[in-house]
Structure formats: C-alpha cells, structure tokens
C-alpha cells in the first residue's frame, strides 16, 4: 500500500433517537457519525476504534487514507455531531527488532458449512469449539494464531491476550440487526518489516471494519498490558 495515512482523534456527540428512529443502535449511529467525518469523499478508506465512551459522547481514534473534513464543514445531523477533530500525519518510527505493545478490536471469522452445506462466516473461536467441543486450545491461543498469520512478514506476535469478547448488534432504524462477535486483544509484538507493518495497519485486520474493528494500535512496551492486569481466570487460561 505505502500510502500516506492520517491519524485523527475525534470527539462525537450522539443522542439516542426517538420516535421512528429509536430502533437504531449505538454501533450503527457511531458508524454513520465516523463516516460523516469524511464528508462526500468517494474513497473514505478509514479504520477506527472507540477510545472512550461517556453518556452521549464518544472519543474515537481514526486511521485514514485521507484527512477528515474541517470541523466547520461537517454536517450537523439530528442524532450526532462532531465536537472536536485533531489530525496529524501517521508517521510511526518503527525499526526491525523493536518490541511494542498492541491492542485491537477484532472480528475474526472463518468460513464454515452449515447443515445445508451452505458456507457462512462464524467467529473463529466458535468455529474451533464447534469443530471439537473437547479442544485443548484456549481463546487466547486461537486469537494469537489468527493475529500471527495476519501479521506474518510484518511482525512477530510474542503475546496475545483476550481481554473482552461479546456480540455487537449494529442496526439501522428501519433495518434488521447485523450481529457479529468482537474481541479485544492486547499483547506484545516484535517488528520485523516496518513498511509491511504500516501497510497492515492501514488496511486493517479482520472484518467489521466499518463498525470499529480492525485497527491495530501500537504503544510503548508496558503501556497497554500494564493497564490490563490479568484476572485469575485469564492467568489460568493463558498458562494452558
């Protein structure tokens, strides 16, 4: 890819709809609000992650191929509006052998045939468990292997820990829900090819990218994992 990227932090105000629009869920409204940051650009090409959630206010980190529109030019929708936008060129100082913490919201899937032999996408852990209820693999190991494959040639995954997992149900006001499983993975990696890693970061990992998944966030060693101490259950799973 090797395309210039822009990193943006944006605060967005979202009000819960009323009346005929009340069926729209927060994940869908946020998806629409982030898309609005880029106006009418045909090729928006962005990934985002929610950094903070407060009642009526979301702070998101956005990595995009194009800079968002200036705040004063953004539309003020009935249910959402941008409060602030801070952008800068994305120019990470990466070196081969460098170790970094990472965190990513991930929709990792695998194709699996149902009883009618139709292929459908299922969450990667669900696919492993359905194939073998007695599997000795843990969720930590399954997601570790998934990330290691996606980052092959760009970075080596040294540690990957599942910290949160659940169903997300985006739904527009007059549509049906589009549920998927999202998992938050925190860990540590070693950079092997800096340009290749930036390319992966710009393209994103996994699916459901329009709904806040796929953005690989990097940080100095000890800054992400230190914020997420393992529970007793996580320590037990990780050791298996």
pLDDT at 98: 97
For residue 222, how many other CB atoms are within 10 A of its CB?
11
Mean pLDDT, the chain, rounded, equals 84
Under the banding of pLDDT at 50, 70 and 90, the label for residue 231 is very low
**210 has a pLDDT exceeding 50:** yes
Higher pLDDT, 184 or 234: 184
Beta pairing, strands 155-168 & 80-89: unpaired
The reply to whether 104 and 79 lie within a common domain is no
**203 has a pLDDT exceeding 90:** yes
With beta carbons less than 8 A apart as the criterion, state whether 173 and 23 touch: yes
The reply to whether 111 and 85 lie within a common domain is no
With beta carbons less than 8 A apart as the criterion, state whether 141 and 162 touch: no
pLDDT at 235: 34
**DSSP secondary structure letter of residue 227:** G
Kindly report the CATH number assigned to the domain that includes residue 200: 3.30.70.1210
Counting other chains too, the contacts that 89-94 makes at CB distance below 8 Å and 24 or more residues apart are: 89/4, 89/5, 89/6, 89/7, 90/4, 90/5, 90/6, 90/7, 90/63, 90/198, 92/194, 92/198, 92/218, 94/191, 94/194, 94/197, 94/198
Question: What is the count of structural domains for the chain?
Answer: 2
Under the banding of pLDDT at 50, 70 and 90, the label for residue 213 is very high
In a domain, 94, yes or no: no
The reply to whether 70 and 103 lie within a common domain is no
Range with the poorest average pLDDT among 40-44, 142-146, 162-166, 188-192: 40-44
This prediction has a pTM of 0.84
Under the banding of pLDDT at 50, 70 and 90, the label for residue 44 is low
Kindly report the CATH number assigned to the domain that includes residue 75: 3.30.70
**190 has a pLDDT exceeding 80:** yes
Q: Which domain holds residue 70?
A: 6-89
Q: Shortest CA distance to 45 belongs to which of 207, 200, 210, 212?
A: 210
The reply to whether 106 and 63 lie within a common domain is no
pLDDT at 233: 37
**40 has a pLDDT exceeding 80:** no
Measured CA to CA, the distance from residue 236 to residue 148 in angstroms comes to 22
How much is the average pLDDT of 175-204?
93
pLDDT at 73: 85
pLDDT tens digits along 8-27: 999 999 876 555 456 678 88
pLDDT at 18: 54
**179 has a pLDDT exceeding 70:** yes
pLDDT at 22: 60
Domain boundary among 89, 115, 145: 89
**236 has a pLDDT exceeding 50:** no
The reply to whether 107 and 82 lie within a common domain is no
77 phi and psi angles, rounded to 5 deg: -80, 170
Range with the poorest average pLDDT among 59-68, 135-144, 149-158, 168-177: 168-177
The reply to whether 81 and 146 lie within a common domain is no
Q: Shortest CA distance to 237 belongs to which of 142, 149, 151?
A: 142
How much is the average pLDDT of 208-222?
94
CB within 8 A of 5, min separation 6: which ones? 63, 64, 65, 89, 90, 198, 201, 202
pLDDT tens digits along 67-122: 999 988 887 777 788 999 999 999 999 999 999 999 999 999 877 666 666 667 78
In a domain, 15, yes or no: yes
């Amino acid at each position: 890819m090797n395309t210039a990227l822009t990193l943006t932090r944006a605060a967005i105000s979202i009000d819960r709809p009323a009346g005929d629009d009340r069926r729209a869920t927060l994940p869908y409204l946020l998806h629409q609000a982030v898309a609005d940051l880029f106006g009418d650009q045909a090729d928006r090409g962005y990934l985002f992650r929610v950094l903070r959630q407060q009642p009526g206010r979301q702070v998101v980190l956005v990595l995009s191929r194009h800079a968002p529109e200036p705040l004063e030019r953004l539309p003020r929708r009935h249910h959402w509006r941008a409060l602030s936008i801070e952008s800068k060129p994305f120019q990470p100082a990466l070196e081969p052998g460098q170790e970094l913490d990472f965190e990513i919201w991930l929709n990792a899937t695998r194709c699996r045939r149902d009883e009618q032999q139709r292929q459908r996408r299922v969450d990667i852990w669900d696919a492993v468990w359905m194939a073998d209820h007695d599997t000795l693999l843990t969720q930590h190991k399954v997601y570790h292997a998934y990330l290691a494959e996606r980052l092959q040639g760009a970075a080596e995954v040294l540690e990957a820990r599942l910290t949160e997992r659940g169903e997300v149900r985006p739904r527009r006001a007059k549509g049906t829900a589009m549920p998927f499983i999202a998992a938050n993975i925190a860990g540590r990696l070693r950079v092997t090819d800096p340009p290749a890693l930036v390319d992966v970061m710009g393209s994103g990992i996994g699916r459901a990218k329009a709904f806040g998944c796929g953005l690989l966030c990097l940080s100095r060693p000890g800054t992400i994992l230190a914020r997420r101490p393992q529970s007793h259950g996580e320590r037990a799973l990780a050791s298996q």
